[in-house]
Amino acid sequence: MVDYIVVGLGLAGISFCETLEANKKTFVVFDDGKNQSSSVSGGMYNPVILKRFSLCWDAKDQLKTALPFYKNLEQKLGVTIDHKLPVYRKFTSVQEQNLWFEASDKPHLEYFLNPKILTNTNPSINANYGLGEVLHTGIINVKLLMTAYRSHLQTLKQIVEKPFEYSQVKCTEDGIEYGNIKAKYLVFAEGFGMKANPYFNQLPLDGNKGELLTIKAPRLKLNAVLKSSIFIIPLGDATYRVGATYDFHDKGINITNAAREALEEKLSKLISCDYEVLDHIAGIRPTVKDRRPLVGRHATYKNIAVLNGLGTRGVMIGPTVALALFKHLEHDLDLPSEIDIARFKT
């Protein structure tokens, strides 16, 4: 008998498992390794929407939970995953500079926006109107986190690296049975894989495909994240992540020439130095129409719950919503209405 069966070991699953471990709950995870999203994530945490210069939903509180959460994981797993890096937003006009000044004066944004316009001194970057600096931002090395967390669970013999078969679930008076495993709760953290889940596939998970390039550019010499119509994220050793694309229509995880061309076209406007493309990857972000996570118990099977819809910002949102679900299941605390799947019931 375990307390929980968790399905999925991306950012949502790791956030939930880690919350279980912190609260001394027993669990087993199923993950089929067909990672859709977390394994290709840029890993950035940035509380500011850089199109409109506004704060993301609940960003300050989410960061307050997320940063200690990743720090704890670093200590526990013996890896360095949190790399603090500023984000520089390229301005394209005087009007944008003025909007930045205005935004940096707003009470909730002044903590995150440096009001000064930085002059671009990097000859490999085209930014005549200068750059705005976002503070308290960084990159989580999600791939390393996933590898280290998976190996931690392998050591504890708490992971089954196979697809979870929905048809094998039995709901009993005390909880759940799955083959010879008995559990109090079953939590699905399947990302876009939820589309195949008969318990929750009626929820409005849209999915948004994203593609990224890895490039090598020895002359770029960039040591902050650069944002214009795309991001350039330094990875070390003169390599960079470039992306991403957003596609609501294509739900396949194959890479496409169209995305590569679109990314390279934008890149050629942003930098003037040579580069070589080393890699090209794709994944599906688990996005929801109202841009809020999908969290809560099944309407009929109260011991089955979902943790999904982390959208474009899984790094920041994951730890907060995992904790909210845990408190809901264990202590019967209400979920915030904006993340509760009850909002979609008619």
Ligand X SMILES: Cc1cc2nc3c(=O)[nH]c(=O)nc-3n(C[C@H](O)[C@H](O)[C@H](O)COP(=O)(O)OP(=O)(O)OC[C@H]3O[C@@H](n4cnc5c(N)ncnc54)[C@H](O)[C@@H]3O)c2cc1C
Interacting residues with ligand X (CB under 6 A): 7-13, 30-38, 40-44, 163-164, 189-193, 210, 212, 243-244, 283, 285-286, 308, 310-316
Nearer to ligand X, 104 or 287 (CB): 287
**Of residues 122, 129, 95, 140, the one with CA closest to residue 228:** 129
Contact 331, 213 (CB under 8 A): no
Nearer to ligand X, 8 or 132 (CB): 8
CA–CA gap between residue 103 and residue 125 (Å, rounded)? 25
- Cβ of residue 191: shortest distance to ligand X, in angstroms? 2
DSSP helix/strand/coil, 329? helix
- Cβ of residue 266: shortest distance to ligand X, in angstroms? 15
Residues 6+ apart with CB under 8 A from 110: 104
- Cα within 13 Å of Cα(124), Cβ side: 13
Nearer to ligand X, 10 or 117 (CB): 10
Nearer to ligand X, 193 or 234 (CB): 193
DSSP string covering 262-281: HHHHHHHHHB-S--EEEEEE
- Cβ of residue 28: shortest distance to ligand X, in angstroms? 12
The 10 Å Cβ neighbour count of residue 291 is: 14
The 10 Å Cβ neighbour count of residue 113 is: 21
Nearer to ligand X, 175 or 319 (CB): 319
Contact 272, 125 (CB under 8 A): yes
Residues 6+ apart with CB under 8 A from 167: none
Nearer to ligand X, 117 or 139 (CB): 139
- Cβ of residue 274: shortest distance to ligand X, in angstroms? 24
- Cβ of residue 231: shortest distance to ligand X, in angstroms? 7
- Cβ of residue 10: shortest distance to ligand X, in angstroms? 2
